[in-house]
Structure 1
Amino acid sequence: MAIRTSGLHHVTAIGENPQRNADFYLRTLGLRLVKTTVNFDVPSVYHLYYGDTAGKPGSLMTFFPWETVEAGRIGSGQATTTAFSVPTHSIGWWKQHLESAGVETTRVTNRDEEDVLGFRDPDGLELALVAHPQGDPRDPWDTPSVPAEHAVRGLHSVTMTVAREADTADLLVDGLGLRFHHQDGDRIRFAAGDGGPGALVDVRVDPSAPEGFVAGGTVHHVAWRTPDDATQKQWREELIDRGLEVTEIRDRQYFKSLYFREPGGVLLEIATDEPGFDIDEPLLELGRELKLPPWLEPTREDIQNSLPALDLPE
């Protein structure tokens, strides 16, 4: 594999109740809403992008929050935990902050020399906050509820649960250009780029885990970074040569995407870093207005009427 990803681009999950989803990720977790748009394939459903100040690749958690949706089942063939990076001194602050907001948390554990705090979002999606001992230099979004000194820096890692190790590990190394980092029991860590926060995936091997069902409270897919269109096209051909079923390249307005399943069943995406979220609204106004791609603009009125109103913080 000549092409190597530099790390995570975004994680996309499915939720219920758009207002509840926005309240949790904006007010409780203190992320920024960097784009309010719709699911391009089902435009009666929002697609909400949360991230850092500019919505940089590696900071993004996105949701399709339906008004009502069937509950999913977390299990094999899924990304089962999404972890965010926080400052080394902030885990205690976060535990108190989450519990004061009514969020049940796990006890703080130390794994791989990192402090880890687990919890779930209102739909039951498994999340974690991780403090890397060397810190995380990425700039956070500053809010009244979550000040910059404690704020989320971006994605830290994802955990994928699969029934067997070999084929998944082979795809991550030879297909995505990751490298084996270390193994701790049934958990195997792979790293991209410099191997710091935002460039990690943990593969949890559990042959007894139930098969996952993707619906409310589960991750839909995990996206990995590629720098530009040309690299993405070359990568697509290499993945097809490996015998994988790969989609055509799709225009997501703020990046371009292709999708495929790794052998363990997890849906993966290769997403371009370009062009970014400020192509259709100024950086200071990201997320404030409903943005639609050109091919949906003719039906804007119908789309807006089908979406529930959102009360967003200033």
Structure 2
Amino acid sequence: MTSGIHHFTGITANVQANVDFYVGFLGLRLVKRTGGFADAEQLHLIYGDGLGSPGSLLTFLVWEAAGRGGTGIGQVSEVALAVPPASLGDWLTKALAANISIEGPSREFGESVLRLKDPDGLIVKLVGVDMATPAPIAGSPARLRGVTLLTDKATETGSFLARFGYSEGERSGPTRRMVSDTDIVDVREVSGFVRSVPGAGVPDHVAFRAPDADAIRSMRLSLKEHGPTEVHDRKYFLSLYVRNPAGILLEYATDEPGMTVDEAPDDLGRTLFLPPHEADRAEDLKAMLPQFALPGEERFPVRDLPFIHRFNRPEDPDGTTLVLLHGTGGNEADLMPIARRIAPRSTLLGVRGRAIEEGTNRWFRRFDAATFDQADIRSEAEAFSAFVKGAVAGYGLDADRLVFLGYSNGANMLAAVIQLHPGLVRRAVLLRGIQALENPPVADLSETNVLLLSGRDDPYVHVAPELASPLIARGALVDFQQISAAHELAAADVAETSRWLRQNLSPA
């Protein structure tokens, strides 16, 4: 009989640490890597048993460098995995050796429980109970034992779970245990707590198993008077989403077609798949999505540097590194698609600005649309200089094949760095850049080559010469062009930048 939990979904802010924990430490198999179906610019990883069987699946949405969420009312708070009871001592020893945060062992509902925290702070319970899964992996948890829900409406939450095949079992203090044919859901009454805040380390939802598409349709009809529902084809299963009376997001997902619909069993998790409706953006998305290494694969440890950053490495790098500075509201991945088109064999290093204005990323503060905080520009330029030196040394980058590319606010920052720290940036592409410095210092820029591209229809095109002139006056070799474009990036940016790189970089 089809019943119980289909999968659990959490959020991670560090994809490499997440893979290292769930594959490297717990020993689960990565069975799928995809661009998110709701947001293809968001990586989605799925772990499970050897075949990715329903009931064994833990999935994670990757919000790289996101803030920590807050566990509270209206959310899943813990996920529990079943391990053989006799193995808990071994898991305790293994966790201590790996310096993983641990609590217990303790007893809950007559079961031995060891609480761990994954790298994002998510509580993962290892429960000593024998449970079977279709494709067990020796030395790893067998399957999902259950989840814990925090709610201020415990009775309504329990009743709602009955729709998915759960009935009330034992109670222990504020927790009532709901039981299916295969697993459990612990409903914990927490009246007076704050609401949950989405973010890293906080679960997103739990999904229950549906026999087939007819069951999805029937469930949706039964919820017609309850409130809004959504049905989505997630390729590997058909899903219905609904919030229970306490506002907890729940999913109802079919077993079929399953994880082997697009990969052979021996090849699960090796290929990055993208949603079919994003086929036109496939190459751009591959450049944007964060990369990682499985245990045993070559990896590049992240260095502790002043700015959040991300690499994207092609299969056949030519030794060139493009350092990318996004525009207002962007992030470290925004310019990777256009950079990949400009230089297909370059390693891309996207960097995120540290100034925040109305929730958007910028490179420096401003007092109004046309007045920039000069002290902040200088401070951030100095920090960026330290970042570049640290990245070159820490990652072993070839300084002679380093090219900087900035767009809009990122181009303004890059121009300031060129003028404030002569010699640091020797090749730069400034897309829609303007002069942000009020009193640029006198400096020798004779070793600096700059491509400055302005759009003829850009509202700021008339002030672009105010940036080109001081660079030229200080000895920089400036290729200043107006292209057929507005402020947005255009195909001409790719063509002209590619041409400029060929002229200013010797062949690999």
Do the structures match in fold with TM over 0.5? yes
Q: What fraction of aligned residue pairs are identical, expressed as a percent?
A: 38
Counterpart in the other structure of 1:98? 95
Where does 1:72-221 land on structure 2 (aligned, <5 Å)?
72-132=69-129, 135-139=130-134, 141-142=136-137, 148=138, 150-173=139-162, 175-193=163-181, 196=182, 199-221=183-205
Find the residue that maps to 1:124 and give its secondary structure.
coil
Aligned partner letter, 1:128: K
Find the aligned partners of 1:296 and 1:101 in 2 and give their Cα distance. 39
SS in 2 for 1:158: strand
1:140 to partner: Cα distance:
5.5
5+ unaligned residues in a row in structure 1: which ranges? 143-147
Q: Rate the CA distance shift 1:105–1:200 in 2: closer, same or farther, 3 A.
A: same
**Whole-Å Cα distance in 2 between the matches of residues 109 and 102 of structure 1?**
19
1:244 corresponds to which residue?
Answer: 227
Deviations 1:147-174 (A, max 9, x none): x1x320011010001012221122112x
Structure 2 residue 240 is matched with structure 1 residue 223: no
1:40 equivalent to 2:37? Answer: yes
Q: Aligned partners of 2:196 and 2:110: how far apart in 1?
A: 30
257, 266, 272: which one aligns with 1:275: 257
The residue that corresponds to 2:331 in the other structure is none
Query: What SS class does the counterpart of residue 22 from structure 1 fall into?
Result: helix
Unaligned runs of 5+ in 2: 297-508
Aligned to 2:218: 234
> 2:134, 2:261 → 1: CA distance?
21
The whole-number CA distance in structure 1 between the counterparts of 2:237 and 2:107 is 36
CA offsets per residue over residues 102-149 of structure 1, 9 Å max, x none?
1021120122221100011111111100012xx22225553xxxxx1x
Paired residue total: 296
Aligned residue in 1 for 2:366:
none
Give per-residue Cα distances to partners, 1:248-286, cap 9 Å, x unaligned: x20101001111111112100000110001111111000
CA contact (8 A) 2:14 2:64 kept: yes
Contact 2:75 2:151 survives alignment (8 Å): yes
User: Which structure has the bigger radius of gyration?
Assistant: 2
Contact 2:146 2:185 in 1 (8 A): yes
Q: Distance in 2 between matches of 1:212 and 1:5?
A: 30
Which amino acid counterpart does residue 142 of structure 2 have in structure 1?
A: R
Structure 1 residue 309 and structure 2 residue 291: aligned?
A: yes
Equivalent residue for 1:298, pick from 256, 280, 293: 280
For normalisation by structure 2, the TM-score amounts to: 0.57
Judge conservation of contact 2:77–2:202 (CA < 8 Å) in 1: yes
| SS, match of residue 50 in structure 2 | coil
Is the partner of 2:70 in helix, strand or coil? coil
Question: TM-score under structure 1 normalisation?
Answer: 0.91
CA distance in 2, matches of 1:312, 1:293: 23
SS of 1:256's partner is strand
Q: Secondary structure at the match of 1:231?
A: helix
Q: Is the 1:77–1:161 Cα contact (8 Å) retained in structure 2?
A: yes
CA distance in 1, matches of 2:146, 2:93: 23
Partner of 1:66: 63
